[in-house]
Every structure is written in structure tokens, then in C-alpha cells.
Amino acid sequence: MADLKVDQVIVPIIDFCKFVHPKTVSAALGLPGAELPSDVEHTANGNGDELSIDGAAPQRLQELGCTWKSDTDSASAWIFARPVDEAFAQTVISAAQQRKACTTNTGGFGPISYSQTCPNADGGTRIRHASLIGQTWFTCEISSATDAVERADLWCSSLVNELKTN
């Protein structure tokens, strides 16, 4: 991840989920092979969709994103649906640092970024990386009982490489 030069990349603000290669998703979920098994669930959300997050009342999304779930793990990614400047990105980082029971470190995924590790209710771990890439706020995460850190790094760097336009 540290070798990924996000300052030299443009990630477009588009409905990107359909462009993510099944091999990339399979690796993110810790599954063998280049094809996704039929029992992997996939959901995609668009700007303006309503979604209940953590059991709260439904909220209208202002992002584009997707999630893939196997029996034990999940891989997600999303981008804000509007361009973001550095000041706004810093407020997102500040909010992430307030999340209880999580460890949040800045940097590592570009100059304006954070990485966060949180425990899951099932005893596993959720790893989230987020970064301002040009004017796009990009977030990716892995939730898993095993090797989440390694897979999250690979997931996020693979996504940026697949989605970049330059």
C-alpha cells in the first residue's frame, strides 16, 4: 500500500462496481481461483439510495459503492458522489478518529488518508483504508476472521489500480 502513488492517480466518480474484476473480489474474500462462487452475495448502492447502517434509521446515501459477502468475510468499496477538497477530507478523518473501539492511523494510503482497525461482533476484524485521490474520496474495507490486514492492503491497492484513469 505504501508504494501506491495515489498523488499520480485519478479515480473517476462513477458507478465503478461493474468494473471490479471477479479475481480481485475473490482474492479480497480469501477465496481460491479467479471466479466468484455463486453463493457470494453482491450489493451495489448509488447516490440517493437509502440504506440502514448499523441498524440505524435509513439514510440517503451520497456515495457510490458495493459490497461482496461470502459466508465469513466481506469486501466493500465506495466513493463520495461529489468532488471532495482537502478540508472536507480532513473532517472525514477527524470523524473516523472518534469511532470508539477502533484504532485509526493517518497516512499510509496517500498524504490525506487513514487506516482503521475495528473489532467485529463475531470476533473478527474490520480493516478500512480511505484516501483523497485527486478530488475523489475513496474508501475500501475488508471484514474477516483471518488475515484481514493483508487482504485489505491488496484489495485497496488492486481497486485503485483497476479504477484509475491515467
Residue 117 has pLDDT above 90, yes or no: yes
Q: What is the CATH number of the domain that holds 94?
A: 3.40.1000
Based on the structure, what is the number of domains in the chain? 1
Chain-centroid distance, C-alpha 95: 16
Structural domain span for residue 21:
6-51+58-163
**Residue 22 included in any domain:** yes
Question: 141 in a domain, yes or no?
Answer: yes
Instruction: Label residue 79 by pLDDT band (50, 70, 90).
Output: very high
- Position 24 in a domain: yes
Rg over alpha carbons for the chain, rounded to the nearest Å, is 15
**Rounded Cα–Cα distance for residues 141 and 75 (Å):** 6
44 in any annotated domain: yes
**Which tens digit of pLDDT belongs to each residue from 125-137?**
999 999 999 999 9
82-87: long-range contacts, CB 8 A cutoff, minimum separation 24: 82/13, 83/13, 83/135, 83/136, 84/132, 84/135, 84/136, 84/137, 85/135, 86/112, 86/132
Cα 25 to chain center, whole Å?
12
How much is the pLDDT for 55? 66
Cα torsion 144, 27, 109, 44 to 10°: value is: -80
18 bridge partner residues: none
Q: Is residue 1 part of a domain?
A: no
Q: Are strands 41-45 and 50-51 parallel, antiparallel or unpaired?
A: unpaired
- In a domain, residue 155? The reply is yes
**pTM for the model:** 0.89
- Flag whether 31 is in a domain: yes
143 vs 49 pLDDT, higher one = 143
Long-range contacts of 135-138 (CB under 8 A, 24+ apart): 135/13, 135/83, 135/84, 135/85, 136/10, 136/11, 136/12, 136/13, 136/79, 136/80, 136/83, 136/84, 137/79, 137/80, 137/84, 137/88, 137/89, 137/92, 138/11, 138/77, 138/79
100 located within any domain: yes
